[in-house]
Structure 1
Amino acid sequence: MQPRITVVGLGSGDEDQLTLGVWKKLKQAKRLYLRTDQHPMVSLLRDNGIAYESFDSIYTSNDTFEQVYETIAGQLLRLSKEEQGEVVYAVPGHPMVAEMTVQLLRARCPQEQVELTFMGGESFLDQAFVTLGFDPIDGFQLLNGTDLSVYSLNPLLHIVIGQVYDTHTASDVKLTLMELYPDDWEVVVGHALGVQGEERIHRIPLFELDHLKDYGNLSLVWVPRSGEERLRSRTFARLHEIVEILRSPEGCPWDREQTHQSLRKNLIEEAYEVLETFDEEDPDHMAEELGDLLLQIMLHSQIEAEEGGFTVWDVIGGLNEKLIRRHPHVFGEMKADDADEALSNWQQIKQEEKRKKGIDPNELPLLSGVPRELPGLMKAYKLQKKAAAVGFDWSELGEVLNVVESELSELKEAIASLSKQEQQEELGDLLFSVVNLARFLKVEPEEAMSQANRKFFERFGYIERQLRLKGKSFDQTDLQEMESLWQEAKKVL
């Protein structure tokens, strides 16, 4: 006789809700095993003299739930083969709702030639719909309280969180929910729903979720669905929807007119505005500017979606795949003990990606790969680094200083010649040599230039403030007075 395991559901805990078929199977079972005897229906078994064995001891002899469930599934498979007949396995609720041991049996029984059948029972969801009073057709999520992620939360759906066994799990659930919901958002905690004499329902603000002390095997948390804008505004889906509306015929005339080319300067400006916030101690301002930069990405993606090129989901999907592919030391088997090794892995993978596209990296110009639209100082710095990597470089700092002085002399000659074309060319050479000097000094030229700009801005602002204190405007002063104030500014700023 082929070994067989029949999994039956004990229901939500009320004996009046137990199905007749399951009750017959329980009474007829020669060997009945329970995942746990911590369930209201177990008293009915005892009252009717139905013998059973539970796996509760396995919970105390293993460190994790995963080990517990694996052990139970393994023992059931062994017992079914030893019995050479039917083994009845009873679980709380419905066998196919939040029951990991059943999922393990579904995976392993075919491999071990053990027949697996099911007899459903009322799940805790049935009582949740009845007692809490919401219709699942409105949309709901069933989530695991022991493995809850903010990425799964959708405020437009009812959220039912099961397996909230204890205060520790409730605390984890609370912290995750607080990433999306306000601290005072009302949530509902239900214990033993539908079980007469044991049912308890608490409506509490979210921050009190882990203040309750009566959590157990039959506890759940319900977060009612809501269309409040303060919740939707914290989701990526809402951002995508807003940008789509702005670009629609019913949206904003300005947004509708934009193209990739018209938005070029906006993208650059927003990126630099983000950079400015790095020097401030204002995280709110940084968050705002990062949002403005993200808007540019959303707009360009929406333009392409309308033209049939790609969508923002393609952008996200491609980025996720690239990040995983280029970090095999994180998501794969490769090792990287330091940042240099990680960067080396990244570069090797980039080369392999080019080969798969039919591009031989060895045939590309050495200076390729430096973006054409980079700011001048930054581009010069990157070009010089690439050339220096193959030995095209000065050997010591003194040689670089000589080049700077030589280029300055050539610029002076060009100025004397009155040739604007020569002056522009020689000025460019001088700037290029200064970038080379910055590289030898291990100073980022863009950062040095930004610092100089900030310093000039602050010192010139000092001049303006001092003139204002004197009741003067720039029209009422002269260069000598401004130079004097500039020297003052250098001492205080």
Structure 2
Amino acid sequence: MTHSITIVGLGAGELDQLPLGIYKLLKQAGRIYARTVEHPAVTELREEGVQFISLDHIYEKHDQFAEVYEEIADELEAAAAAEKQVVYAVPGHPIIAEKTVQILIDRGVSSELEVRIAGGHSFLDSLLTAVEIDPIDGFQFLDGTALMKEDINIFQHLIIAQVYDSFVASEVKLTLMEKYPDEHAVYMVTAAGSAAQTVKKVPLYELDHQVELNNLTSLYVPPIKQEEHTYREFSVLRQIIAKLRSPQGCPWDREQTHESLKKYLIEESYELLDAIDRQNDEDIVEELGDVLLQVLLHAQIGEDEGMFSIEDVVASLAEKMVRRHPHVFGETDVRSAQEVMANWQAIKQQEKGEKDHFHLDEVEKGLPALLRAYELQRKAAKAGFDWDEAQGAIHKAEEEWQEFLAEVTSGNSNRQLEEFGDVLFSFVNVARFYSIHPEEALAKANEKFCRRFSHVEKRVKASGRAFQEFTLSELDAFWEEAKKTER
């Protein structure tokens, strides 16, 4: 035999706000379970003899709202099973900002529990009236107890419900301050539409100070105007790139193609690596932006040509990250970074299907030679073509060096070029055994050379003499000075 829960909404204020049918249902119910009795309509109904069973005590038992809502649903379901029919009252309207109602509806789908929504007066109408906004301009309605900055559109009206204590207000403030200026005006609206309605305007940074909060409090955040702060929004950056590529945009940007931009992506990537090596956060931010610019330009070209958009790029990446991290988004267990990499490669192989596959095909031909040598060796090593230990790679490097020296004496320039390439390739192999990235090592060597040669040049200029007037031995002495200074 089925059992049922009838859910009614108490509105946002006094009994005068309730529809007549809801008022009659509440009067005839006998006794009513209430998510909270801290509500003006409950006070008036009690005076008229209606009995309420408060569920407020459950809030005090848990630190997480999710646990509170689940226990409330458990208690109501148990009551329905025992009493066959119960009435459950919530503030506002049952299907607006009521997590317990959604939990009960979900449970009713897969059980004998019948959930009936009797209706009620939504506080949204009264709240929109209180702050005098038209939702046709676009608005969002979010839960203050589960607010995520990624969900916020700063260009629309924003209403945040369930901002009912200082803790929630503080968390909401911190989240909003990641998107809005600290001084942005916000409005705390309490008991909208009732005789006790209050609307208080405060700067965002004072949201959790000097404001009375209760179960009937919501927050209204006006849309932000087009100003410098909006540059933090990804959508604004995308619009800027689109305009640069538009007929009214920049002639240079309009002329670019995937092919013409290739060199800039390489240049910006190296400038980012340099900023990382210098551990300069400000420069890292700037250089990451330059790399992102290249990504957005390529995506905009794809969109202009009707081939793909930035959403396709984002979706492809997101799907791949989820697919290749089953230990995070699935049930796979891993115990080390090595196991993660092994799973990654296995998943990549599955994605490629059963067609003929050659390990070195995965290494991009457009990579700089040093980077390509490193990647080729890594791929070969994963296939099992590798020295057992570093000593084998070292012996091979020594052997290649001797072969190069032999060609030096031969005078054959083509053979010298080939053997010197073998030397470089063998040294890359040695670096790999010691977890040294050759590109990073060479970049550091370049910087070190620049520092020391700059010292030599400064010493020469300070002498008033020309470079050519110094012997190599004298210049080398300046070089040694630079080395000592570094130490």
Q: TM-score, normalised by structure 1?
A: 0.90
Q: Which residue number in structure 1 is paired with residue 333 of structure 2?
A: 335
Q: Which residue number in structure 2 is paired with residue 299 of structure 1?
A: 297
Q: 2:401, 2:423 within 8 Å by CA — same for their partners in 1?
A: yes
Q: Which residue number in structure 1 is paired with residue 105 of structure 2?
A: 106
Report 1:148-159 matches (<5 A): 148-159=147-158
Report 1:49-448 matches (<5 A): 49-61=49-61, 64-80=64-80, 82-84=82-84, 87-196=86-195, 198-212=196-210, 214-355=212-353, 358-359=354-355, 363-389=356-382, 392-394=385-387, 400-448=393-441
- Which ranges of structure 1 fall in alignment gaps of 5 or more residues? none
- Distance 1:476-1:129 versus aligned 2 partners, 3 A rule: farther
After TM superposition, give the deviation of residue 248 of structure 1 in Å: 1.1
Q: 1:13, 1:194 within 8 Å by CA — same for their partners in 2?
A: yes
After TM superposition, give the deviation of residue 257 of structure 1 in Å: 0.7
* CA–CA distance in structure 2, aligned partners of residues 282 and 420 of structure 1: 43
* CA–CA distance in structure 1, aligned partners of residues 282 and 76 of structure 2: 56
* CA–CA distance in structure 2, aligned partners of residues 489 and 39 of structure 1: 77
Q: 1:35, 1:89 within 8 Å by CA — same for their partners in 2?
A: yes
Decide which moves more: 130-139 or 377-386.
377-386
Letter in 2 for 1:490: K
Letter in 1 for 2:121: E
Q: 2:37, 2:52 within 8 Å by CA — same for their partners in 1?
A: no
Letter in 2 for 1:70: E
After TM superposition, give the deviation of residue 413 of structure 1 in Å: 4.3
* CA–CA distance in structure 2, aligned partners of residues 446 and 111 of structure 1: 59
Q: TM-score, normalised by structure 2?
A: 0.91
Q: 2:13, 2:191 within 8 Å by CA — same for their partners in 1?
A: yes
Aligned residues: 486
Q: 1:77, 1:109 within 8 Å by CA — same for their partners in 2?
A: no
After TM superposition, give the deviation of residue 80 of structure 1 in Å: 4.3
Q: 1:7, 1:117 within 8 Å by CA — same for their partners in 2?
A: yes
Q: 2:157, 2:222 within 8 Å by CA — same for their partners in 1?
A: yes
Q: 2:11, 2:92 within 8 Å by CA — same for their partners in 1?
A: yes
3-state SS of paired residue (1:211): coil
* CA–CA distance in structure 2, aligned partners of residues 76 and 400 of structure 1: 71
Q: Which residue number in structure 2 is paired with residue 455 of structure 1?
A: 448
Letter in 2 for 1:25: L
Q: 1:13, 1:41 within 8 Å by CA — same for their partners in 2?
A: yes
After TM superposition, give the deviation of residue 281 of structure 1 in Å: 3.5
Superposed CA offset, 1:334-391 (max 9, x none) = 1112211222222222222222xx43xxx52343322222222232223234434555
Q: Which residue number in structure 2 is paired with residue 45 of structure 1?
A: 45
* CA–CA distance in structure 2, aligned partners of residues 351 and 263 of structure 1: 30
Letter in 2 for 1:365: F
- Distance 1:489-1:91 versus aligned 2 partners, 3 A rule: same
After TM superposition, give the deviation of residue 269 of structure 1 in Å: 0.9
After TM superposition, give the deviation of residue 445 of structure 1 in Å: 1.8
Decide which moves more: 238-247 or 105-114.
105-114
3-state SS of paired residue (1:38): coil
3-state SS of paired residue (1:94): coil
* CA–CA distance in structure 1, aligned partners of residues 477 and 61 of structure 2: 82
After TM superposition, give the deviation of residue 83 of structure 1 in Å: 4.6
Q: 1:167, 1:212 within 8 Å by CA — same for their partners in 2?
A: no
Letter in 2 for 1:436: N
3-state SS of paired residue (2:183): coil
Letter in 1 for 2:456: I
Superposed CA offset, 1:120-168 (max 9, x none) = 3332322221111211111111111111111011110111111112111
2:35 maps to 1:35: yes
- Distance 1:221-1:340 versus aligned 2 partners, 3 A rule: same
Letter in 2 for 1:460: F
After TM superposition, give the deviation of residue 81 of structure 1 in Å: 5.2
- Distance 1:247-1:476 versus aligned 2 partners, 3 A rule: farther
Letter in 1 for 2:284: M
- Distance 1:162-1:30 versus aligned 2 partners, 3 A rule: same
Decide which moves more: 271-280 or 417-426.
417-426
Letter in 1 for 2:104: L
3-state SS of paired residue (2:232): coil
3-state SS of paired residue (1:42): helix
After TM superposition, give the deviation of residue 75 of structure 1 in Å: 4.0
* CA–CA distance in structure 1, aligned partners of residues 253 and 19 of structure 2: 60
Superposed CA offset, 1:272-321 (max 9, x none) = 11111112232111011001001111111111122222211111111111
3-state SS of paired residue (1:367): helix
Decide which moves more: 370-379 or 155-164.
370-379
- Distance 1:221-1:467 versus aligned 2 partners, 3 A rule: farther
Q: 1:186, 1:205 within 8 Å by CA — same for their partners in 2?
A: yes
3-state SS of paired residue (1:296): helix
Q: 1:191, 1:218 within 8 Å by CA — same for their partners in 2?
A: yes
After TM superposition, give the deviation of residue 77 of structure 1 in Å: 4.1
* CA–CA distance in structure 1, aligned partners of residues 5 and 434 of structure 2: 74
* CA–CA distance in structure 2, aligned partners of residues 372 and 60 of structure 1: 63
Decide which moves more: 337-346 or 168-177.
337-346
- Distance 1:422-1:112 versus aligned 2 partners, 3 A rule: closer
Letter in 1 for 2:445: A
Q: 1:183, 1:205 within 8 Å by CA — same for their partners in 2?
A: yes
Q: Which residue number in structure 1 is paired with residue 9 of structure 2?
A: 9
After TM superposition, give the deviation of residue 62 of structure 1 in Å: 5.0
3-state SS of paired residue (1:457): helix
Decide which moves more: 244-253 or 301-310.
301-310
After TM superposition, give the deviation of residue 12 of structure 1 in Å: 0.8
- Distance 1:152-1:420 versus aligned 2 partners, 3 A rule: same
After TM superposition, give the deviation of residue 418 of structure 1 in Å: 4.2
- Which ranges of structure 2 fall in alignment gaps of 5 or more residues? none
Decide which moves more: 163-172 or 383-392.
383-392
Superposed CA offset, 1:201-251 (max 9, x none) = 332222222223522111122211023332321111112111111111111
Superposed CA offset, 1:96-137 (max 9, x none) = 111112212322334445554334333232222111121111
Tell me how large the CA RMSD over aligned residues is.
2.6
Decide which moves more: 468-477 or 168-177.
468-477
